[in-house]
Amino acid sequence: MLREKMRENSFKENVSRLEEEAKAKEITFLKEGVRLLEKWEKVDGLDGESLRKVEAVNPKKVYRLVHQLENQEKYLAKMGEAVVSSAFNTIPQNIIRVIRLGYPNSIRGDIFHEFTMTGTRDSFYYLNPVFGSTKRGGVTDAVTYESTEHRYPTSIEQDALGTGDGSTVTFGITIAIKPIVPYKTVILVDGVSVAVDDGANAFTSSVLTGTIAYDTGILSVTFTTAPASAAVLVVESLFDTENSDLYTEFGTVNLVTTREDFHAQPKMLKLAWSWMSEVTMDVDLSLNVEETLIQTAAEELKKAIDYEACYIGYRAALASTLVTFNADFRSSGAANPSDFNNTFFRYLKKAETIIYNTF
């Protein structure tokens, strides 16, 4: 028991430490973002006023942008202006401008969660709650928030009583987990309650008679009219949670720590134009070719990161479990469409978490 308690305390300490590290990293990111924004809004050609406007609407997007600008500047500084000019046929400032113009127009951060990398390599930790056992609808090691089963943290047990064939009227089973709490055993036919025990080892119902032994779990019911063919019969009962022999039946939830490593990947793009194009655009259209190409490069960069994110999300969605929502409230047994449609958001959340977990 002492060893188990020590392991539990150690686990809690590790979880607390990871949470604190995550909070500290987020605070550092925000503080550094504010500092870098003050620096980059003063750089000529980057339109500091627009940066501040974006910050008012989506501050994290701007802070991620200035982190990227800072990282790009450090990289270019190591290469040297001469190398950049000869390799890219432009000046370092123009490469910075491509990032400044391209990234804020990206919608990737509005659809997916984005994490800013402070270097070429970073690690993130995920804490997932998972079922500790396969009981009452839970599946061992399955993520809890992906399950719609409500019985796992309760003492509500469901046992199959049988399947109707149109002629059989008597059904019986021995409920595995007992003793059973009186007044809480329900007979369900296709999900509809047709009988409940009276607390005195019998059932109150207009469609059947029967008995139940709370200590042994022996149950027997006889229907007045045989259940229809293929009708599903289920017994729902509550076991006594104060019985020490049943403590092992309690549901447990484990927090699993998962680490993911991220590595920076370059986005490579080469744009070229001819001297004839430059002369023609300058003389006939009064356009600066280099300015036009910077805008074009920024647009291509924005499109590339959006397409890549959407492709990864789409690929993950294809590999995920199908989530079905029946818009017909009548067939679902709901009282009215308004109440039923409110459950739509629960299905959306379930689909979202399944996709994230699969990815």
Average pLDDT, the chain: 80
Among the listed residues 193, 188, 118, the one whose alpha carbon sits nearest the alpha carbon of residue 160: 188
Please, which residues bridge with residue 196 across strands?
A: 186, 204
- pLDDT tier at 333, thresholds 50, 70, 90: low
Can you spell out the DSSP letters for 231-299? -EEEEEEEB-TT-GGGGGGS--EEEEEEEEEEE-----------HHHHHHHHHHS---HHHHHHHHHHH
- Determine the Cα–Cα distance for residues 185 and 179; give it in Å rounded to an integer: 12
Residue 3 has pLDDT above 50, yes or no: no
- Determine the Cα–Cα distance for residues 105 and 95; give it in Å rounded to an integer: 16
Among the listed residues 194, 189, 222, the one whose alpha carbon sits nearest the alpha carbon of residue 206: 194
pLDDT 10s digits, 21-39:
767 777 777 888 888 888 8
Residue 100 has pLDDT above 70, yes or no: yes
- Determine the Cα–Cα distance for residues 270 and 149; give it in Å rounded to an integer: 53
Residue 209 has pLDDT above 80, yes or no: yes
Q: What angle do CA 328, 332, 336 make, to 5 degrees?
A: 70
pLDDT 10s digits, 242-284:
998 898 899 889 888 877 777 777 767 666 667 777 777 777 7
Return the pLDDT at 4: 46
- List the end-to-end C-alpha distance of the chain, in Å, as a whole number: 38
Please, which residues bridge with residue 255 across strands?
A: 129
- Determine the Cα–Cα distance for residues 314 and 270; give it in Å rounded to an integer: 28
Specify the range with the lowest mean pLDDT, choosing from 14-18, 76-80, 183-187, 244-248.
14-18
For the residues 140-152, what does the mean pLDDT come to? Answer: 85
